[in-house]
Copies of this chain bind each other. A is one copy, B any other.
Amino acid sequence: MTVTSAVDAAEARIEATEALVSAGRTLFTRKGYRQTDFAELAEEAGLDLAQARELLPDKAAVLGALIERTVKVAGLLRPAVAEGVDEDLPARLARIYLALWEPGEEEESPLVELYRIALSDAEASRVLRGRTAEALNAMVDHELPGEDAEIRTALFGAQLSGVALVRHLIGVRAVSALDVETLIAAIAPGLRRTLLGVEGIEGTEGAA
Protein backbone atom coordinates (compact mmCIF):
# COMPACT_ATOMS: atom_id res chain seq x y z
CA MET A 1 0.00 0.00 0.00
CA THR A 2 1.37 3.40 -0.91
CA VAL A 3 1.44 6.22 1.62
CA THR A 4 -1.34 7.98 -0.28
CA SER A 5 -3.65 4.99 -0.29
CA ALA A 6 -2.98 4.36 3.42
CA VAL A 7 -3.97 7.96 4.17
CA ASP A 8 -7.06 7.60 1.96
CA ALA A 9 -8.04 4.41 3.76
CA ALA A 10 -7.66 6.08 7.17
CA GLU A 11 -9.77 9.02 6.03
CA ALA A 12 -12.46 6.72 4.64
CA ARG A 13 -12.52 4.90 7.97
CA ILE A 14 -12.98 8.15 9.91
CA GLU A 15 -15.77 9.24 7.57
CA ALA A 16 -17.57 5.91 7.85
CA THR A 17 -17.32 6.02 11.64
CA GLU A 18 -18.75 9.54 11.64
CA ALA A 19 -21.63 8.35 9.46
CA LEU A 20 -22.34 5.52 11.91
CA VAL A 21 -22.31 7.89 14.89
CA SER A 22 -24.61 10.32 13.06
CA ALA A 23 -26.93 7.42 12.29
CA GLY A 24 -26.95 6.71 16.02
CA ARG A 25 -28.01 10.25 16.85
CA THR A 26 -30.76 10.15 14.22
CA LEU A 27 -32.22 6.74 15.04
CA PHE A 28 -31.80 6.87 18.83
CA THR A 29 -33.71 10.18 18.77
CA ARG A 30 -36.40 9.02 16.33
CA LYS A 31 -36.93 5.41 17.46
CA GLY A 32 -35.36 5.34 20.90
CA TYR A 33 -32.18 3.51 21.95
CA ARG A 34 -33.91 0.31 23.01
CA GLN A 35 -35.88 0.04 19.77
CA THR A 36 -32.91 0.56 17.43
CA ASP A 37 -30.78 -2.38 16.33
CA PHE A 38 -27.26 -2.35 14.96
CA ALA A 39 -28.28 -3.44 11.45
CA GLU A 40 -30.50 -0.35 11.17
CA LEU A 41 -27.61 1.87 12.23
CA ALA A 42 -25.39 0.35 9.54
CA GLU A 43 -28.10 0.78 6.91
CA GLU A 44 -28.78 4.40 7.91
CA ALA A 45 -25.04 5.08 7.64
CA GLY A 46 -24.87 3.44 4.17
CA LEU A 47 -22.52 0.69 5.37
CA ASP A 48 -22.77 -3.06 5.14
CA LEU A 49 -23.07 -4.83 8.46
CA ALA A 50 -19.58 -6.39 8.57
CA GLN A 51 -17.96 -3.08 7.65
CA ALA A 52 -19.93 -1.28 10.38
CA ARG A 53 -19.06 -3.90 13.01
CA GLU A 54 -15.41 -3.50 12.21
CA LEU A 55 -15.62 0.23 13.00
CA LEU A 56 -17.79 0.05 16.12
CA PRO A 57 -18.72 -3.42 17.38
CA ASP A 58 -22.24 -2.82 18.68
CA LYS A 59 -25.02 -0.36 19.46
CA ALA A 60 -23.48 0.53 22.85
CA ALA A 61 -20.21 1.47 21.15
CA VAL A 62 -22.11 3.76 18.76
CA LEU A 63 -23.74 5.51 21.70
CA GLY A 64 -20.37 5.72 23.46
CA ALA A 65 -18.83 7.41 20.43
CA LEU A 66 -21.83 9.77 20.18
CA ILE A 67 -21.39 10.75 23.84
CA GLU A 68 -17.66 11.34 23.33
CA ARG A 69 -18.35 13.50 20.29
CA THR A 70 -20.98 15.54 22.15
CA VAL A 71 -19.35 15.90 25.57
CA LYS A 72 -15.65 16.62 25.42
CA VAL A 73 -14.89 14.98 28.74
CA ALA A 74 -11.12 14.60 28.42
CA GLY A 75 -9.44 17.31 30.49
CA LEU A 76 -12.76 19.09 30.99
CA LEU A 77 -12.35 19.69 34.72
CA ARG A 78 -8.59 20.27 34.60
CA PRO A 79 -8.78 24.09 34.89
CA ALA A 80 -10.92 23.79 38.04
CA VAL A 81 -8.71 21.17 39.64
CA ALA A 82 -5.45 22.84 38.62
CA GLU A 83 -6.14 25.72 41.00
CA GLY A 84 -5.95 23.29 43.88
CA VAL A 85 -8.29 21.94 46.51
CA ASP A 86 -9.77 25.00 48.16
CA GLU A 87 -13.17 26.17 49.37
CA ASP A 88 -14.01 27.47 45.90
CA LEU A 89 -13.36 24.15 44.10
CA PRO A 90 -17.02 23.01 44.21
CA ALA A 91 -18.17 26.27 42.58
CA ARG A 92 -15.46 26.05 39.90
CA LEU A 93 -16.47 22.47 39.08
CA ALA A 94 -20.16 23.41 39.02
CA ARG A 95 -19.44 26.33 36.67
CA ILE A 96 -17.68 24.10 34.12
CA TYR A 97 -20.24 21.29 34.34
CA LEU A 98 -23.35 23.46 34.18
CA ALA A 99 -21.94 25.46 31.24
CA LEU A 100 -22.11 22.25 29.17
CA TRP A 101 -25.87 22.25 29.66
CA GLU A 102 -26.65 25.86 28.85
CA PRO A 103 -28.19 26.51 25.43
CA GLY A 104 -25.74 28.29 23.16
CA GLU A 105 -26.69 29.24 19.62
CA GLU A 106 -29.07 26.28 19.63
CA GLU A 107 -32.41 26.28 21.41
CA GLU A 108 -31.09 23.62 23.78
CA SER A 109 -27.70 22.09 24.49
CA PRO A 110 -27.01 18.84 22.57
CA LEU A 111 -26.63 17.23 25.99
CA VAL A 112 -30.36 17.47 26.56
CA GLU A 113 -31.33 15.06 23.76
CA LEU A 114 -28.27 12.91 24.49
CA TYR A 115 -29.36 12.43 28.11
CA ARG A 116 -32.94 11.74 27.01
CA ILE A 117 -31.53 8.90 24.90
CA ALA A 118 -29.10 7.63 27.52
CA LEU A 119 -31.50 7.67 30.49
CA SER A 120 -34.21 5.76 28.62
CA ASP A 121 -32.55 2.36 28.88
CA ALA A 122 -30.36 0.44 31.35
CA GLU A 123 -27.64 -0.45 28.81
CA ALA A 124 -27.53 3.11 27.49
CA SER A 125 -27.22 4.43 31.04
CA ARG A 126 -24.24 2.14 31.66
CA VAL A 127 -22.53 3.61 28.61
CA LEU A 128 -23.29 7.13 29.84
CA ARG A 129 -21.94 6.31 33.29
CA GLY A 130 -18.61 5.10 31.93
CA ARG A 131 -18.10 7.95 29.49
CA THR A 132 -19.26 10.87 31.67
CA ALA A 133 -19.95 10.34 35.39
CA GLU A 134 -17.08 7.96 36.16
CA ALA A 135 -14.64 9.83 33.92
CA LEU A 136 -15.51 13.19 35.49
CA ASN A 137 -15.43 11.82 39.04
CA ALA A 138 -11.97 10.32 38.46
CA MET A 139 -10.60 13.77 37.51
CA VAL A 140 -11.63 15.07 40.93
CA ASP A 141 -11.44 12.28 43.50
CA HIS A 142 -7.74 11.58 42.84
CA GLU A 143 -6.99 15.15 43.96
CA LEU A 144 -8.97 15.04 47.19
CA PRO A 145 -7.60 14.00 50.57
CA GLY A 146 -9.40 11.42 52.69
CA GLU A 147 -10.37 7.78 52.36
CA ASP A 148 -13.94 8.67 51.39
CA ALA A 149 -12.86 10.97 48.52
CA GLU A 150 -14.44 8.67 45.93
CA ILE A 151 -17.79 8.61 47.73
CA ARG A 152 -17.81 12.36 48.39
CA THR A 153 -16.96 13.12 44.77
CA ALA A 154 -19.64 10.74 43.47
CA LEU A 155 -22.28 12.28 45.75
CA PHE A 156 -21.18 15.77 44.74
CA GLY A 157 -21.46 14.76 41.07
CA ALA A 158 -24.85 13.15 41.62
CA GLN A 159 -26.26 16.30 43.22
CA LEU A 160 -24.78 18.55 40.57
CA SER A 161 -26.15 16.41 37.74
CA GLY A 162 -29.53 16.44 39.49
CA VAL A 163 -29.52 20.22 39.29
CA ALA A 164 -28.68 20.06 35.56
CA LEU A 165 -31.39 17.47 34.86
CA VAL A 166 -34.06 19.37 36.79
CA ARG A 167 -33.03 22.63 35.10
CA HIS A 168 -32.83 21.30 31.53
CA LEU A 169 -34.72 17.99 31.19
CA ILE A 170 -37.45 18.20 33.80
CA GLY A 171 -37.71 21.97 33.77
CA VAL A 172 -38.81 22.89 37.28
CA ARG A 173 -39.37 26.62 36.91
CA ALA A 174 -37.75 27.74 40.18
CA VAL A 175 -34.50 26.09 39.01
CA SER A 176 -34.75 26.86 35.28
CA ALA A 177 -35.45 30.56 35.82
CA LEU A 178 -32.27 31.31 37.80
CA ASP A 179 -29.25 32.70 36.01
CA VAL A 180 -26.32 30.30 36.28
CA GLU A 181 -24.22 32.35 38.70
CA THR A 182 -27.15 32.81 41.11
CA LEU A 183 -27.75 29.08 40.87
CA ILE A 184 -24.12 28.28 41.63
CA ALA A 185 -24.09 30.68 44.58
CA ALA A 186 -27.19 28.98 46.01
CA ILE A 187 -25.85 25.42 45.78
CA ALA A 188 -22.14 26.06 46.47
CA PRO A 189 -22.27 26.05 50.31
CA GLY A 190 -24.08 22.71 50.38
CA LEU A 191 -21.94 21.16 47.65
CA ARG A 192 -18.82 22.31 49.52
CA ARG A 193 -19.93 20.31 52.55
CA THR A 194 -20.53 17.21 50.43
CA LEU A 195 -17.29 17.40 48.46
CA LEU A 196 -14.90 18.66 51.12
CA GLY A 197 -16.51 17.19 54.24
CA VAL A 198 -18.51 18.73 57.04
CA GLU A 199 -15.48 20.38 58.59
CA GLY A 200 -14.51 21.99 55.31
CA ILE A 201 -10.79 22.23 54.71
CA GLU A 202 -9.80 24.89 57.21
CA GLY A 203 -6.15 24.32 57.99
CA THR A 204 -5.41 22.89 54.59
CA GLU A 205 -6.61 25.92 52.65
CA GLY A 206 -4.03 27.16 50.21
CA ALA A 207 -2.33 23.78 50.10
CA ALA A 208 -2.71 22.52 46.56
| B-binding residues in A (CB < 8 A) | 31-32, 34-35, 115-117, 119-122, 125-126, 128-129, 133-134, 137, 148, 150-155, 157-163, 165-167, 169-175, 178, 183, 186-187, 189-194, 198
Contact = CB atoms under 8 A, between A and B. Distances in A.
A154 B161 CA distance: 14
B120 A170 contact: no
Contacts of A189: 190, 193-194, 198
21 contacts: A31-B32, A31-B35, A35-B35, A115-B119, A128-B170, A129-B171, A129-B172, A133-B172, A151-B174, A154-B166, A154-B173, A155-B163, A155-B174, A158-B175, A159-B159, A159-B187, A161-B165, A165-B165, A189-B193, A189-B194, A189-B198
Contacts of A151: 174-175, 178, 186
A165 B158 contact: yes
B152 A162 contact: no
Contacts of A194: 186-187, 189-190
A169 B172 CA distance: 20
Contacts of A31: 32, 35
Contact of A158 (B120, B167, B198): B167
Q: How many copies does the complex hold?
A: 2
A51 B172 CA distance: 33
A173 B126 CA distance: 11
A186 B155 contact: yes
A176 B178 CA distance: 30
Nearest to A178: B151
A34 B186 CA distance: 35
Contacts of A191: 190
A2 B160 CA distance: 59
Contacts of A186: 148, 151-152, 155, 194
B172 A158 contact: yes
A23 B117 CA distance: 22
